Structure 1
Amino acid sequence: MELFYYMVFGALGTVVAALEFSKSNKDRVNTSAAFNSFKNNYLLVYSLMMAGDWLQGPYVYYLYTTYGFGKGEIGQLFIAGFGSSMLFGTIVGSLADKQGRKRACVTYCITYILSCITKHSPQYKVLMVGRILGGIATSLLFSAFESWLVAEHFKRGFDQQWLSLTFSKAIFLGNGLVAILSGLFGNLLVDTLSLGPVSPFDAAAIFLAIGMAVILSSWTENYGDSSESKDLLTQFKGAAVTIASDEKIALLGAIQSLFEGSMYTFVFLWTPALSPNDEEIPHGFIFATFMLASMLGSSIASRLLARNSTRVESYMQIIFVISSASLLLPILTNFLVTPSKVKGGGITFAGCLQVLGFCTFEACVGIFWPSIMKMRSQYIPEEARSTIMNFFRIPLNIFVCIVLYNVNAFPITFMFGMCSIFLFVASILQRRLAAIGDKPKTEDWAMLKERDAEDEPLNAP
């Protein structure tokens, strides 16, 4: 079956290269030298930040097992990370709007470096602190950097369409190329050089420190609502009112939670789905194949976003339907292909079919990230961007914690079916968003504040 992996990997690589080198003038956007310098600086920082994150992912579970912890204790550590992201991460992330997005990005670096340091200790309490710090850092990674980018982009007077270029390229590099290289580098440190499972965390800390130095030396500060009279609770209430009063923002939050919840569930399920009888599968190579599929998706997204005639709200309906269908494959193969009862061995024919489906899902993930970033830049008001984005992550983290806690209570086919349903619901909500989102408003926050001051009912236009 190794030939199968090489065929899939080679095919995806060929398509990605073809897409990148065959862009026509219609797919290209004329930009300025100032914007290109700004974009490249952000891409450098974002790639370093994602390298710090991707280096850790494949070795967290393995490191805990080398310290002698069982599945239950490791599950508690993972739940602590997602719970921390939901509780403390939301608060810290929301402070970015008031205290500054650049400071929040620096806080991400410091927090994640400290989390990496805790991995040197085999003590359960120390590792728990590390997971809590990691949860806070994750919230900052997926809110503070994007908030800084959007605010700085418009502050410098760049064209709105150019923002899509930065988004798509950031996903292509940070969630694709950097992920693949990080996996290979981590494998080099742990297996080839025999430096131990903690070495990728040390390497991650170094990349984060380098990124922090670039931020401190080249980024300027920007804020959301920096009003001195607003405390954190008032900020939370204002963000909640904005979400409840604007159907477009509420729909966007629901769509994001449904898709990301399914995506994180898929991360936990793909390994047991491909090796139900303890088959020997090349995890690293399959992971690299998934990341290459994600790069393919981001390349497709960059073409779609570069065209004024194509609306992101429209094509994302199709993407959600395709992603929903791709996660039905484990269920379909379970009915159509007679499952093997033989322990061990290589991947089965059903597993090969699922790999193709999972690659399709990962391509949808690659399209999703720059597309959701584009929609967030259109619909979420600048004054509370980080706060609202972290509100979106609350139901996501609750969902993932529930899945982790009950991962052994339901069969894998049930979990994939649930994710497929969620993705189909996301397509329905996306259709509604496309119908009402013809005229996106980014000034709704200011209008809501004026109405609040006049004690009028809060109804979004």
Structure 2
Amino acid sequence: MRGLCGCTQHRALWSPQGRPALQLPGPALSLSLSLLTPTPSVSRSPRDAQPHAMLLAAYASLAALLAAALGLELFSRRTPGPATNPAFARFQHRFLRAYLPALAADWLQGPYLYKLYHHYRFVEGQIAILYVCGFASAVLLGPPAALLVDRLGRRASCVLFSLSCAACCLTKLSRDYLVLAAGRVLGGLATALLFSAFEAWYVHEHVERHDFPAEWLAGTFARAAFWNNVLAVGAGVVATALAEWLGLGPVAPFMAAIPLLALAAVLVLKDWEENRGPPRALAKTCGDGLRCLLADGRVLLLGTVQALFESVVYIFIFLWTPVLDPHGPPLGIVFSSFMAASMLGSVLQRVAVSARYRLQPVHLLALAVLLAFLSLFMLTFSTGPGQESPAESFLAFLLLELACGLYFPSMGFLRRKVIPEKERAGVLHWFRVPLNLLACLGLLLLHGSDHRSGTRSIFALCAALMLLALLAVGRLFTVGRHDPELRLPPSQGPPESPEL
């Protein structure tokens, strides 16, 4: 594995700003200081220019992708009818102004997580175990968190999200490995609450308390999805400004997330009223979900595609930093470029299924999986030991994020069509079990590798998984060729955005 074989151990001696750490003992200090001494007689090698090339590539990619995504967004924008209702507009604003700070706080923690662990001088294998703790906690805490939301109350659960996420951020101040592992578990709980409590509160208030038409839900979800993409791009820029431009180090974005979490909690307590769901038994929820999964071949195929595709995405979330960071790009700007590529994919998906083009979501799902396979195939060559090509790896990562932008709304549409509402929570839990197990297995294989080809081998394994996902999509296309439930309604457009 390349990180354990020199690259990671060497970079553990460097400060987060990329300058040699001056507190090195003996010969290491002399060597570091010699690196700072100008040597006019020695010409600059092409490898010396690599950080500047990657820096330029990161900023240029961000600008180009943002321009394309926002331009296409403005071109395809339609004025939604519900916004003309003043009561609905006020209610929607009350929800979004509390929900968006929570999303912003979550995105701020993405760009520098691996960098922070590396800054604390943990090697790649130890960092992989920390990521596994987060994935495993998502599997174990997902169903209990859904039940907690109904019993504790949706508003109280949103406040609990802010508290648990803030505690997770505070653990990043510690260099103790067990404290950081506990922080990953708290992060898993916070993620489960973020993607269940807020949506559940809004849907109940929208339908039950205010009696707005259910068709108007898509307008709020579309608006939230758009601003979620904008916040993700902005979070990378802000994280770079804090960690690198201001020189505050990789822990700074996590500390900056805490005031946003406090703001979200205050607005929830101030503006929202409590609501609860009907009590549910965990065993019954999981049992009903398993029966639905096994009884419907379409659901089983969707679960297979989701487990294979999203487990690869989880592994990518871990690997992109050690692949690109040694070559000097600003990690936050790279992260923003990824989010801009994902935004572009989402807009392309919305345009493709519009009344003008009428491409089917299952076709776009197949395209997303194919693009992801091609990106992973590229990575098996661009990460070869001694033959690393960071520019090609960066391009492949952007292609993978573009595929994600196409994948998530298409998968969300198909899930809503084939999974009954009352069994959805249980079915989605069973979808997540193999997803997280595959992601954990991939990271554990990376942890157990002690040779430089470990990263390349993992990408080759991910390409094989994506090929299996492509076969499953092909089977789904065959099964649902004449199935009206897997196609867009003939008289109206599709939902304008994926689920929150």
Q: TM-score scaled to structure 2, two decimals?
A: 0.73
Query: 1:326 pairs with 367, 375, 391, which one?
Result: 375
Superposed counterparts of 1:269-418, under 5 Å: 269-274=319-324, 278-304=326-352, 307=355, 309-331=358-380, 341=386, 350-383=389-422, 385-407=424-446, 409=449, 410=454, 411-418=457-464
Task: Give the structure 1 partner of residue 137 of structure 2.
Answer: 84
> Matched residue of 1:131: which SS?
helix
Residue 113 (1) aligns with residue 161 (2):
no
Query: 1:238 pairs with 264, 288, 291, which one?
Result: 288
The size of the alignment, in residue pairs, is: 422
Indicate how the Cα distance of structure 1 residues 101 and 249 shifts in structure 2: closer, same or farther if over 3 A, else same.
farther
* Alpha-carbon distance in structure 2 between the residues aligned to 1:259 and 1:380: 19
1:55-94 deviation line (CA, Å, top 9, x unaligned): 2222333333444433333332222121111112332234
* Alpha-carbon distance in structure 2 between the residues aligned to 1:164 and 1:100: 24
* Alpha-carbon distance in structure 1 between the residues aligned to 2:275 and 2:478: 33
* Alpha-carbon distance in structure 2 between the residues aligned to 1:358 and 1:216: 40
* Alpha-carbon distance in structure 1 between the residues aligned to 2:173 and 2:324: 32
Superposed counterparts of 1:33-48, under 5 Å: 33=85, 34-48=87-101
* Alpha-carbon distance in structure 1 between the residues aligned to 2:385 and 2:285: 55
1:320-349 deviation line (CA, Å, top 9, x unaligned): 223333332224668xxxx7948xxxxx7x
Give the partner amino acid of 1:70: V
After superposing the two structures, state which structure 1 stretch, 383-392 or 85-94, moved more.
383-392
Query: 1:438 pairs with 463, 484, 495, which one?
Result: 484
* Alpha-carbon distance in structure 2 between the residues aligned to 1:367 and 1:43: 24
Deviation of 1:406 after TM superposition, in Å, equals 0.8
Give the partner amino acid of 2:307: S
> Matched residue of 1:407: which SS?
helix
Residue 17 (1) aligns with residue 70 (2):
yes
Give the partner amino acid of 1:391: W
Whether the aligned pair in 1 keeps the contact of 2:289 and 2:425 (CA below 8 Å) is no
Whether the aligned pair in 2 keeps the contact of 1:119 and 1:130 (CA below 8 Å) is yes
Give the partner amino acid of 1:134: G
* Alpha-carbon distance in structure 1 between the residues aligned to 2:283 and 2:80: 42
Task: Give the structure 1 partner of residue 82 of structure 2.
Answer: 31
Larger radius of gyration: 2
Task: Give the structure 2 partner of residue 215 of structure 1.
Answer: 268
Deviation of 1:149 after TM superposition, in Å, equals 4.2
> Matched residue of 2:484: which SS?
coil
* Alpha-carbon distance in structure 2 between the residues aligned to 1:111 and 1:124: 19
> Matched residue of 1:327: which SS?
helix
Indicate how the Cα distance of structure 1 residues 386 and 420 shifts in structure 2: closer, same or farther if over 3 A, else same.
closer
* Alpha-carbon distance in structure 2 between the residues aligned to 1:10 and 1:59: 21
Query: 1:75 pairs with 107, 112, 128, which one?
Result: 128
Structure 2 gap segments, 5+ residues each? 1-52, 487-500
Percentage identity across paired residues of the two chains: 33
Give the partner amino acid of 1:321: L
> Matched residue of 1:61: which SS?
helix
* Alpha-carbon distance in structure 2 between the residues aligned to 1:404 and 1:341: 22
Residue 421 (1) aligns with residue 431 (2):
no
Q: What RMSD in Å do the two structures reach over aligned CA positions?
A: 3.3
Residue 184 (1) aligns with residue 237 (2):
yes
Structure 1 gap segments, 5+ residues each? 343-347, 441-461
Whether the aligned pair in 2 keeps the contact of 1:262 and 1:422 (CA below 8 Å) is no
Task: Give the structure 2 partner of residue 254 of structure 1.
Answer: 304
